[in-house]
Amino acid sequence: MFDEGRQYTFVMIEGTSDGWGEMTFSEVVSQVDGPLLRLADGRVINSHSSLFVSATPEPALLSESAFEDA
- Does position 70 have pLDDT exceeding 70, yes or no? no
Q: What is the pLDDT of residues 44-66, one digit of tens each?
A: 999 999 999 999 999 877 655 55
**Residue 50 confidence (pLDDT):** 96
Percent of the chain beyond pLDDT 90?
77
- In the prediction, which pLDDT does 1 show? 86
Go through 28-47 and write b for each residue having 16 or more CB atoms within 10 A of its CB, e for each that does not: ebeeeeeeebebeeeeebee
